[in-house]
Amino acid sequence: MAIKTLTSMPVKRAVLRRPRHRTGNAAEAPPRAERGPPVGTSRRGPEKGGRADAAKVTGLRAVPRLAQILAVAARHKLLPAMMGSGGRPRPKELREAFEELGLVFLKFGQVLAMRPDLLPAGYAEELESLHDELPAMEFDIVRITIERDLGAPLTELFSSFEETPLAAATIAQVHEATLHDGRKVAVKVQRPDLQATIARDIAALTTLIALGERLFPSMRALDLPVVVEEFSRSLGRELDFSHEARSIVLFRTALVDFPDLWIPNVVTALSSGAVLTLEFSPGERIDHFAKLHPEAMPRVINGLVRLMLQTIFEEGIFHADPHPGNVFVLPDGRLSLLDFGNTGELDERMRESLMLLLEAIVKGDARAATEAYLEMAAAGEEVNRAGLLADMKAALYEIRRTSLSDVSIGNAFDSLMSAGSRNGVHNPPEFLLLTRAFVILESMVGQLAPDHNYMHSFHEEIERLTALHFAPERIKTKTTQLARDMERLVSDAPGDARRILRRIAEGDLGRLPGLEALGARLSRNITRLASAISFAALVIGGSMLLLTPMGGWHHVLGEAMIVGGVVGMLVAGVRALRRGQVHGQH
């Protein structure tokens, strides 16, 4: 086995070597080796393999860490601001304090950098420069982690293993290796004892925020406990490499037909909760590729935009961290995505609202944008809708003043989230992740190809997705689902209403005169309402078909649906009028 001696060589930042063969983006996994537990399992003993639970680390147990945090805050002149006796600290001092405090605060600072609605101007920009690279782990630690998790000596698992890592970050570092069948792989190895460290720091952070809200009640408007809770869940997902392995399989399956894309597959026999082995990506980081091939960047960027929008709106999944270190370009020009530890998912309702929101932003329709945004955020009673609409108008006015080629979707979403936070809206975690993904993508595009108008590709893809949204197959599916829902409502609502009214009548309220008649009237009204909704759905569906630019039989079908819906409503109205006359005579 060839193992190089660990020296003071610098950590490699890019993978430049081509493997002996190139694997296509097929959904099937490579042959399973004889040894090694399946993804998501580990052969660690219970005394070593227990995952620390942040919920079990109380504020009392976090006191020593709190003392360290306060010492770092004092060293960086943050204490006066924390105690309310001084002005704001300089953004640079806050960044340096986060870097000194380590993993959790580095990651939390990166989260805050994506939340300009929570921070004063200047802080977000400073926190964006937080780096999460650490010195490489000693090779003995890497070897022990792999052997403990995979249950076999390193020499039996790999024919060769590079001691010098390709990259080293806060959570893991990546090594190049070769399997016994000759395949080159990249092995991602987690740093030890992270669970306990993260649990302790999350408890300390939660205690600090609770103390701050008690001293400064105005902090409660920032909803920081919710931010920390979502941050803690995100870190938990990032620490579980089996979650990342499942995400890779999901993306490979969903994007198997996407042209010009290759996602390295998981070697399941050599992967676990703390070790992830992937096919080796024989490409260059996109920023290195841009320097060598600037003429190819428009094609590459357009491919990235199409990939981003297709995964969001068609598959309901997206890569939440598309920075240059996670996007490679293969020798044959295809894109290669890496690091699926941070991904997001959107259900169909969220995707529908997001599509409406994007259309409203492009049109500058503040009222439509407000409604679509509130559908995504599930706003409660405390939301100031009038104030939100006013802030939306101001935000969209600024966007409309900007040249179309300079419009930033990420900044637009940031403005909407800031408007929402000021008016009592709790931004959903999925929207925060999506905004972060757009901000990272647009920042990368601006650095690699500042003269390229990627919004042209964005508009083309949105038009394609809109046409797909109104495709006959999709309309048929939605109409069938609507008909089933209406049928269920019509059949179940009268019985449900009668049961509810019977319980009221038999409860503490006693018997109310005419209660049965009220229940019967309610049942009839619900049935009529369901019929009216069904006919209205036909009219709306027909109108949507008429609005599509495809013409032809789409318009014929649309007209037929409108006619059917209108006739149905007229017939229902005549019947209701006759029933009313009969009841009036009685």
Q: Which long-range contacts (CB under 8 A, 24 or more apart) does 461-468 make?
A: 461/305, 461/306, 461/309, 461/310, 462/309, 462/358, 462/362, 465/309, 465/310, 465/313, 465/314, 465/355, 466/355, 467/548, 467/549, 467/550, 468/314
Do 127 and 108 form a contact (C-beta atoms < 8 A)? Answer: no
Query: Which residue from 276, 116, 111, 256 is spatially nearest to 186, judged by alpha carbons?
Result: 276
321 is catalytic: yes
Angle CA(542)–CA(547)–CA(553) in degrees, nearest 5? 65
Query: Which residue from 445, 442, 233 is spatially nearest to 341, judged by alpha carbons?
Result: 233
Instruction: For CA atoms 554, 560, 563, 566, give the dihedral sign.
Output: negative
Among residues 321, 339, 391, 414, the one annotated as catalytic is 321
Do 171 and 239 form a contact (C-beta atoms < 8 A)? Answer: yes
The pair phi, psi for residue 225, each rounded to 5°, is -55, -40
Distance CA 135, CA 95 (A): 19
Chain centroid to Cα 202, Å, comes to 21
Count CB atoms within 10 A of the CB of residue 554: 19
Angle CA(457)–CA(335)–CA(290) in degrees, nearest 5? 75
Which residue in the block uniquely carries the two structure tokens 């509130």? 374
Report residue 68 as tokens. Answer: 């360290």
Count of residues making up the chain: 586
Distance CA 125, CA 461 (A): 30
Distance CA 321, CA 436 (A): 8
Which residue in the block uniquely carries the two structure tokens 């005169």? 513
Question: Would you please indicate which residues are annotated as catalytic (active-site) residues?
Answer: 321
